[in-house]
Structure 1
Amino acid sequence: MKFTPLAATIAAVTLCAGALANAATLDAISDAPAPVQSIQNDPEPQSVPTPQPAALVIQNSGEIVQPIPQDAVQEDEDFASLSEAVAAQDAQLDPSDELECLAVGIYYESKGEPLAGQFAVAQVLINRTQSGRFPKSVCSVLTQRGQFSFVRGGKIPTPPANAQWRQALAIAQVAQKDLWDGPAEDALYFHARYSKANWARPRVASIGNHIFYR
């Protein structure tokens, strides 16, 4: 079959136009944004709450410090003096048997003595419970035969609810919590200055009207 030059020209133009149209279509498809996949039916991820640590404090020196829990601060609080430690105790406390026995010993053996002397008596009573040579409770230390003259017939008396008793109870709390380091840290015995006792024991301290020994 033969074509005339005009027919050939028309056919060539038609073919070129078709090719350009196809190319434009392909470019448009390649430039189109990818279809977005629907996630409406996908369940939302569940976030698991995590415990939050205590807020960090940055000091002026640049040191980062994590605050101590309040109960720990209260337990480990440092005091400038024994009187400050005594004043910080709970005056309305309902004491346990051991704490009350400790306060009774302080009251009857050293009421009216300096705070350091009363605290030293408390240390002697506590030291005895830990020594292995005496009973393991303060109440039993007090009622041990021949040790404390205010205990009669094995019965511990009840002190009057006065200011000296409240002070003795506060000193007992300081001693039981080990909030203060007194001069009679390792003392196990004591007697009044006017006593004629001649003990061959190492002397630990002399406070107020009492002398303390190991």
Structure 2
Amino acid sequence: MSYSLRMSGAFSTVLALSFMLIGAEGSGAVAQDRTPQIAAQALAAEPEITAPDTAEAPLGADTALDRDTLAELVAAQPVAELPRELECLAGAIYFEAKSETLEGQLAVGRVIVNRARSGRFPASYCGVVFQHAQFSFVRGNAMPVVSRTSRGWKTAAAVARIAHEGTWQSAAEGALYFHAARVSPGWNLTRVARVDSHIFYR
């Protein structure tokens, strides 16, 4: 066999393996029901999902599937396991805003997305959520256990997809920080909006 034929065969083999690896990416989601806690250390090894570029997915565009309300868009989301990065996003929405309206949950979710995209915080949702001393629900670098069959979790998961994809305009768009309205931390930041029981800033 000539040298050029051997090199051509080797290139074809490498190309085929590359396509197989690309096809396998993103299939590492693990349901919470099988894992008692989401540990920050385990998440570090997963492929990162970063916020989409707004030029590719403009907020409020036709990507909202012509839904008239946020509730309709939430109801239209697929019921499937989330990749781990979206699990971190959904977990933050659930623990910070599960008792809020859909608009309030989306506003919290968009803060996580905005932080991951800002260059001022970790560049992944899990990195943002597990950043030291940022979210009080994180204990020992892990989230509390959540029932994946609960209505609250399913809603948070749907809102996480919407926040990640940017398919609905948040009332607090552009915010990087929020706190409960019952407290006054005295932040020297620009207030963006109050949504339900949270106040948002950039």
What does residue 167 of structure 2 align with?
179
1:195 aligns with 2:183: yes
Q: Could you list the per-position Cα deviations for residues 31-61 of structure 1 after superposition, in whole angstroms to 9, with x for gaps in the alignment?
A: xxxxxxxxxxxxxxxxxxxxxxxxxxxxxxx
Higher relative contact order (CA 8 A, sep 6+): 2
Q: Could you list the per-position Cα deviations for residues 120-143 of structure 1 after superposition, in whole angstroms to 9, with x for gaps in the alignment?
A: 000000000011110000101111
Give matches, 1:66-77, under 5 Å.
Answer: 77=65
Aligned mates of 1:107, 1:143 — CA distance in 2: 15
Q: Shift of the alpha carbon at 1:158?
A: 2.8
Q: CA RMSD in A?
A: 1.4
Aligned mates of 2:64, 2:160 — CA distance in 1: 17
Aligned mates of 2:98, 2:65 — CA distance in 1: 26
Give matches, 1:27-42, under 5 Å.
Answer: none
* Residue type at the aligned position of 1:88: A
What does residue 131 of structure 2 align with?
144
Q: Shift of the alpha carbon at 1:75?
A: 5.0
- Count of residues in Structure 1 that have an aligned counterpart in Structure 2: 140
Q: Shift of the alpha carbon at 1:78?
A: 2.5
* Residue type at the aligned position of 1:114: T
Q: Shift of the alpha carbon at 1:76?
A: 5.8
Q: Could you list the per-position Cα deviations for residues 6-49 of structure 1 after superposition, in whole angstroms to 9, with x for gaps in the alignment?
A: xxxxxxxxxxxxxxxxxxxxxxxxxxxxxxxxxxxxxxxxxxxx
SS in 1 for 2:163: helix
Runs of 4+ in 1 over 6 A off after TM superposition: none
Q: Which is worse superposed, 188-197 or 153-162?
A: 153-162
SS in 1 for 2:199: strand
1:156 aligns with 2:156: no
1:207 aligns with 2:177: no
* Residue type at the aligned position of 1:137: S
Give matches, 1:46-125, under 5 Å.
Answer: 77-91=65-79, 93-125=80-112
Q: Could you list the per-position Cα deviations for residues 188-207 of structure 1 after superposition, in whole angstroms to 9, with x for gaps in the alignment?
A: 00000111211111110101
Aligned mates of 2:104, 2:64 — CA distance in 1: 23
What does residue 115 of structure 2 align with?
128
Q: TM-score, normalised by structure 2?
A: 0.66
SS in 1 for 2:105: helix
* Residue type at the aligned position of 1:133: R
Aligned mates of 1:149, 1:170 — CA distance in 2: 23
Aligned mates of 1:75, 1:115 — CA distance in 2: 18
The structure whose Rg is larger is: 1
- Does structure 1 conserve the Cα–Cα contact (< 8 Å) formed by 2:85 and 2:126? yes
* Residue type at the aligned position of 2:126: C
Identical-residue share of aligned pairs (%): 47
* Residue type at the aligned position of 1:86: V
